[in-house]
Amino acid sequence: MSNGQWYPPEWPERIRALTDGTLTPATPRRAATVMLLRDASPGGPEVHMLRRRASMKFAAGAYAYPGGGVDSRDDDRLVRWAGPTRAEWAGRLGVPELEAQAIVCAAVRETFEEAGVLLAGPTPDTVVDDTTGEQWQADRQALIDRDLSFAGFLENRGLVLRSDLLGAWARWITPEFEPRRYDTWFFVAALPAGQRTSDDSSEADRTVWIMPGRAAAEYDRGELTMMPPTIATLRTLEAYDDVRGALAGAAGRDLTPVLARARMEEDELVLSWPGHDEFTKHIPTGKSDRNGGASS
């Protein structure tokens, strides 16, 4: 592996099965992930990343952002809301209004669950400044265990979800040959004043604050493993000198879904992500290569 691209050894066989019609693609699950940023001096913003535990069924050992699946319980009732309206978010994300609410809720909930950072406050123009107490941690665990919905958490706490603290950044859909598929919206957000990230995520064995350029360089050297959506979005952050600039840049980001494609070219399977040539893989179809060999 010349870089840190996550590439499971079972992919070639699954791609072959997809191309010959013996594999039925799984339906993607809606998900959200957040690139949490803070200003570092000098050098620009840092992004919060976590390394997924080796025991994880999906992308074990890869560096990622806090994120996860949408909870269907956040579709069925309105939550206290600040920032762009649900209709505006629906237009931005390309989904119905309550689905947009659930996706934004997932982004905020997962950031709280995995990083201990909460983008909500008692009023539409405030945000909580400390989430480290025992009661906060009890609520956090209840959310992780799915004993409590995020809508219920906000209601119990009397909190307003601050959707204005998020910026929609990208949308990626897990390839059709993957058994676990996600339709994931990527967001950016700033670390709120007074809050700090937690390093006790149940899904991570390491968390870091790192400059996007440094993380990308370590990926290029094969020192950090990342999935294509992670490194692709990470590279886009390198253009910004501070968090404010990145948040402002979110408004112009293209949310057209990125979905990997697999095609046959003579004696090779070619795996590609439209618009992201660096991830293209050429996979020999000979019997001798059916154990997962691939070339970039």
Alpha-carbon distance of 283 to 202, in angstroms, equals 35
Compute the average pLDDT of residues 49-67: 78
Dihedral angle sign, alpha carbons of residues 146, 186, 66, 195: negative
Domain-located, residue 44: yes
The percentage of the chain sitting over the pLDDT mark of 70, rounded to a whole number, equals 91
Assess contact for 181 and 25: CB atoms under 8 A: yes
Q: What is the pLDDT of residue 55?
A: 57
Number of compact structural domains in the chain: 1
Angle 119-238-262 from CA coordinates, rounded to 5°: 95
Domain-located, residue 224: yes
Tell me: the pLDDT tens digits for 96-120? 999 999 999 999 999 999 999 999 9
Directed axis angle between helix 97-115 and helix 150-157, to 10°? 80
Q: What is the pLDDT of residue 60?
A: 67
Give the structural domain span for 156. Answer: 24-255
Domain-located, residue 17: no
Alpha-carbon distance of 204 to 137, in angstroms, equals 17
Residue 125 has pLDDT above 80, yes or no: yes
pTM here?
0.89
Alpha-carbon distance of 207 to 204, in angstroms, equals 7
Sheet holding 120-121, edge to edge: 81-82, 160-162, 120-121
Compute the average pLDDT of residues 258-274: 83
Residue ranges of alpha helices (H) inside 47-177 are 86-93, 97-115, 134-144, 150-157
Q: What are the φ and ψ backbone dihedral angles of 140, each rounded to 5 degrees?
A: -60, -45
Domain-located, residue 270: no
Domain-located, residue 4: no
Residue 82 has pLDDT above 60, yes or no: yes
Domain-located, residue 2: no
Domain-located, residue 6: no
Domain-located, residue 111: yes
Residue 293 has pLDDT above 50, yes or no: no
Whole-number average pLDDT of the chain:
88
Q: What is the pLDDT of residue 286?
A: 60
Q: What are the φ and ψ backbone dihedral angles of 60, each rounded to 5 degrees?
A: -60, 135
The CATH number linked to 108 is 3.90.79.10
